[in-house]
Chain A
Amino acid sequence: MLKYTLRRVLGMIPMLFLVSVVVFFLAKAMPGDSLSGEIDPTNTNPEYIAEMREKLGYNDPVYVQYYRWVTDFMSGDFGKSTRYKMPVADLIGEKLPNTIFLALTSLLITYVLAFAMGMYSGRKPYTLGDNLIAGFNYAGIAIPSFVAGVFAVYFFAFKLNWFPFAGSVDIEIDKGTIEYWMSRIHHVMLPAFVLGMFSTASYTQFLRNDLIENSRKDFVRTALAKGTPMGKIYNVHILRNSIIPLVTFLGFDIAALVGGAIITEKIFTYPGIGLLFLDSVNNRDYPTVMAITMMLSAMVLIGNLIADILYGIVDPRIRLG
């Protein structure tokens, strides 16, 4: 297992390097000074720009610039936001917890719902309940998330008044109290559900089909022949097998959450990385854009790594094979 993990971690490094090179060149291709944000974009004086370029080392060979950027990045210096006039790292640090909270809640909702519905459908295929769930799944897969989000705001926030329509927390509540966290959860539920809707639907469907397929496997018959009750067979024997492919989805999921958060956070005015990214693109705050791009790419890589490692944990054939 250790060896396996180590191999995965090592395998990530060249990937990280390649991604950083791409992001670096994209940043170079961006207009203005997307790497450091030190050059004031409103100052169009050529002398000033030339002077700043010299000062920031933009006349050095590309690899020197890359090296400087990458080492800065790794040491937490993501440049300076041209819009907020503060270090991008601080800016991201401000929003990141919200996005992580959103993503984790979304994952939780996704997996809980997918398990509940998938297990039900898989055990009772072709029943009314299964068909209802299938209906939900098809809707979840086909309705674009922005349509669903907009609907959700109007229906659940305004019409039914069940959830807040914007923000991440009720500002009047003191930080750290239980109410504070309840308020955060209350705020995050709706966007998290919309964000996870697509995955929930696909995982439910996947789990259902996988359960049905696995329930036809020989080992199920063996377990039955041992006198193991059907319920236990589903919950232990079959489920453990069906979880394995689901775990690999986790990696993709993180990539999807990252992208999906952009749309969801916008609709729910949820102040996270996605909204910051969108705002920064719209305001040409390129240092922030590039830092977020790099960070999200790294996050996806790490997500895949986690998925790989989890995969190893749940599947002995991978772990030991």
Chain B
Amino acid sequence: MTTNAATGAVKRTEKSSSPWAIARRKFLRNKLAMASTVFLILVIILTLLAPFLAPHLSPIPDITKVNISKMSIPPNGDHLLGTDKSGRDVMTRLLYGGRISLLVGASATLIVVVLGTIVGSVAGFFGGAVDSLLMRFTDFVLNFPFLVFVIVLNTILFGIVDGLWVLILVIGLLSWGGVARIVRSKVLAEKENEYVLAAISIGTPPAKVIIKHLLPNVLSTIIVQATLLFASLIVAETGLSYLGFGVPQETPSWGNMLAFANEPDVLQGKPWIWMPPALIITATILSINFIGEGLKDALNPKSQR
């Protein structure tokens, strides 16, 4: 604490602001995180605008139609990123593909966060038998080798449910363990605070205590986790699609586009087909990670930067 004598002074001036305001200020000051946020928002907007943008960017804005006369054209004026082996404009598919990849990532993250938060907060709040039961279950889910189970489940469910949602569900249902653990530990710590004890002692129903008192306090942790999860679930989608167990092939997604790298002629000879998705995936993951780091920093009252 003595070592903080100097910085204590800095903190004091900010004492009046709410933690969220401080976090926001810290985040806004983090250049890397801000640049990443701008980038990510840009990517999201561009993919959302795909149907409007595509016709302006390419003479063949179709994502499914095969153009035999235009196959594997390197980048040029008409096709800024060239065309793929089906003669489809890479740029157009990149925009549409982003929708799917981000959708899979976001939906799966949502499932994960909701499930993880519910399980974690219930376990943490009630403790005792409920806790150990739920945590055993969480351990159990965490113990599945993820990729193996996704592939197996995908094989079983293939053709029964629409492929995209199978993927989202399977990824979501297998990934919530980590969040549950973290939320639980945070809730456990938070629960000991007097205001929570007070709320419980006056007979506030558990659900209300959890939602009103506990969750807002673990929210920062959840947000950070969700961000990092979002990144890793996008990776999961692309990886599975690359292996051929992901999004159905007729739907463009970044992973599916990247699967072209499996083609012997593409990898070395036609880099414009797989480089753009590879780069955009990497850049997106990178920016999400930076945002996550930034959030972690901003929401951590102890951090100094």
Contact = CB atoms under 8 A, between A and B. Distances in A.
Are A and B in contact, CB atoms below 8 Å, in the complex? yes
Interface stretch (B49-57, B117-125, B161-169, B279-287): B279-287
Contact of A144 (B153, B156, B235, B268): B235
Given A263-B239, A278-B243, A281-B151, A141 B285 contact: yes
B37 to A, nearest CB: 16
11 contacts: A26-B152, A29-B156, A142-B285, A144-B242, A146-B261, A147-B258, A147-B261, A259-B145, A262-B148, A293-B149, A304-B143
B282 A258 contact: no
Given A29-B156, A154-B268, A258-B148, A19 B140 contact: yes
A226 to B, nearest CB: 18
A30 interface: yes
Nearest to B284: A142
Interface in A276-321: 277-278, 281, 289-290, 292-293, 296-297, 299-301, 304
Interface in A187-222: 216
A231 interface: no
A262 B156 CA distance: 19
B147 interface: yes
B3 interface: yes
A19 B143 contact: yes
Contacts of B258: 146-147
Range class of the A interface residue count: 35 or more
Contacts of A121: none
B3, B140, B148: most-surrounded residue (chain A CB, <10 A): B148
Nearest to A137: B289
B143 A296 contact: no
Given A19-B140, A144-B239, A255 B156 contact: no
Nearest to A301: B143
Interface of B: 3, 136, 139-140, 142-149, 151-153, 155-156, 231, 235, 238-239, 242-243, 245, 258, 261, 267-268, 278, 281-283, 285-286, 289-290
Given A19-B143, A30-B155, A304-B143, A146 B148 contact: no
Given A141-B289, A144-B282, A26 B145 contact: no
A274 to B, nearest CB: 9
Contact of B145 (A29, A141, A281, A300): A300
Interface string A259-277: 1101100100000000001
A277 B148 CA distance: 8
A263 B243 contact: yes
Contacts of B235: 144
A144 B267 contact: no
Nearest to B259: A146
Interface of B is mostly: helix
Interface string A130-157: 0000000011011111110010001000
B145 to A, nearest CB: 4
A14 interface: yes
A224 interface: no
B239 A297 contact: no
B172 to A, nearest CB: 16
Contacts of A14: 136
A266 B262 CA distance: 11
A300 B144 contact: yes
Given A150-B261, A154-B268, A144 B281 contact: yes
A15 interface: yes
Contacts of A18: 140
A289 B152 contact: yes
Given A141-B285, A146-B261, A150-B261, 16 more contacts: A15-B143, A26-B153, A138-B286, A142-B283, A144-B281, A146-B243, A258-B145, A262-B151, A277-B148, A278-B151, A281-B152, A289-B152, A289-B155, A293-B145, A300-B143, A301-B143
A264 to B, nearest CB: 11
A150 to B, nearest CB: 6
Interface string A27-43: 00110000000000000
Nearest to A15: B140
Nearest to B144: A297
A216 B151 CA distance: 45
Nearest to A261: B147
B281 A15 contact: no
A143 B143 contact: no
